[in-house]
Structure 1
Amino acid sequence: MTRLRSLPAAVRWGVPPAVLLTCTGLLGWSWSLPADVTPPTPRAAEAGFCEALDRALPGSVLGHHRDDPSPASPYTAGWDSSPRTVLRCGLARPDYLNDDPLASAPEVNDVQWGMTRDPDGGYRFVTTLRKTYVEVTVPPGAYPNYIDPLSSLTDAIKATVPDGL
């Protein structure tokens, strides 16, 4: 206690707020880090499409910059839409395409999408009628309209993932 009293008043009174601000900053920084996303393991033919898609994806989606999740992979991408929008390429056919009544969603810029609602209130979209499946997860509150980010991704998908089953 005497050591603390021997310090100048500015230091004694300035250190606690500085420590609090530092801790708050570190906590905020850690929350903004890309969330872990398990990359899919596509078959060899699909991997090439996904790697080309990764290179063609936009650097931003509706003003949200690309900030890929970890671990780094050409089969995943993300945008800092707070909460994060995530794209995965080369995954197996999702079950929700088989038994979800919302599975038939509209076409967006000549790309057909299937969709389902997440338990947390967000949506999962997956391309259909393409050589590999590309899934986009849009969390609740990421955009004013949950389907908005798809239009920013369709040109890259059309250019790199061919039509067909």
Structure 2
Amino acid sequence: MRWLAPPAALLGCTVLLVTAWSSPEDVAPPVPRASAVAACEALDRALPAKVLGHERQDPSPASPYTAAWGSSPRTVLRCGIERPDYLDDDPLKQSPEVNGVQFGMGPDGGGGYYFVTTLRRAYVEIHVPKGAYPGPLDPLNSLTDAIAATVPPGL
């Protein structure tokens, strides 16, 4: 019986690794303000199935306030977040506008960036990790039409 222990342990480790690689990692969904709930839920329905060839693979736990594309690294969108502190660091210094949607941005500490919508009824954050795309702004073009159509301007 003891000779079965090593193969069983190896099989268990293999199953764990395959499961970890194939399932989306956890992302804590935000709790949007009441005034942002409808916009975030509409945004979730309007988001594309693919972003620059990367399939949508939503994180766990399932929520209308989170979405993701790709696997490793992957781009993660969260709608209804609290106003991030990096918007306090001279928001006009780094504020790209993409298809009429204004973003503040901040580094993620690993070579990627966080982009968050400004002057909209809900803060929509898009995390673009290093290596996900040739340029960190690349996925924003695929997402801004849905944001503009569902998250109205205003505070």
Give TM class, smaller chain. 0.7 to 0.9
* Offset from partner CA, 1:97-138 (integer Å, 9 cap, x none): 002678632200000011011111110000001111000001
Flag structure 2 segments of 5+ consecutive residues without an equivalent. none
Aligned pair count reads 151
What is the TM-score of this pair, normalised by structure 1? 0.82
- Within 2, Cα distance between the matches of 1:157 and 1:107? 13
Tell me: higher relative CO, structure 1 or 2? Use CA pairs within 8 A at least 6 residues apart: 2
Aligned counterpart in structure 1 of residue 133 of structure 2, from 143, 151, 159: 143
Query: Does 2:36 match 1:46?
Result: yes
The answer (yes or no) to whether the contact 1:67–1:78 under 8 Å persists in 2 is yes
The answer (yes or no) to whether the contact 1:81–1:142 under 8 Å persists in 2 is no
Q: Which segment is superposed worse, 137-146 or 27-36?
A: 27-36
The CA deviation at 1:28 is: 3.8
The answer (yes or no) to whether the contact 2:101–2:117 under 8 Å persists in 1 is yes
* Offset from partner CA, 1:15-55 (integer Å, 9 cap, x none): x8xx9799657524422311111111011120110000000
Bigger Rg, structure 1 or 2: 1
The CA deviation at 1:82 is: 2.0
The answer (yes or no) to whether the contact 1:86–1:136 under 8 Å persists in 2 is yes
The answer (yes or no) to whether the contact 1:96–1:103 under 8 Å persists in 2 is no
Counterpart in 2 of 1:80?
70
RMSD of aligned residue pairs (Cα, Å): 2.3
Aligned counterpart in structure 2 of residue 91 of structure 1, from 81, 87, 93: 81
Counterpart in 1 of 2:106?
116
The CA deviation at 1:70 is: 0.5
Per the alignment, in what secondary structure is the counterpart of residue 83 of structure 2?
coil
The answer (yes or no) to whether the contact 2:24–2:71 under 8 Å persists in 1 is no
What is the percentage of aligned positions where both structures have the same residue?
A: 69
Per the alignment, in what secondary structure is the counterpart of residue 126 of structure 1?
strand
* Offset from partner CA, 1:80-111 (integer Å, 9 cap, x none): 15211100000111000002678632200000
Counterpart in 1 of 2:60?
70
Counterpart in 1 of 2:115?
125
Flag structure 1 segments of 5+ consecutive residues without an equivalent. 4-15
What is the TM-score of this pair, normalised by structure 2? 0.87
The answer (yes or no) to whether the contact 1:105–1:113 under 8 Å persists in 2 is yes
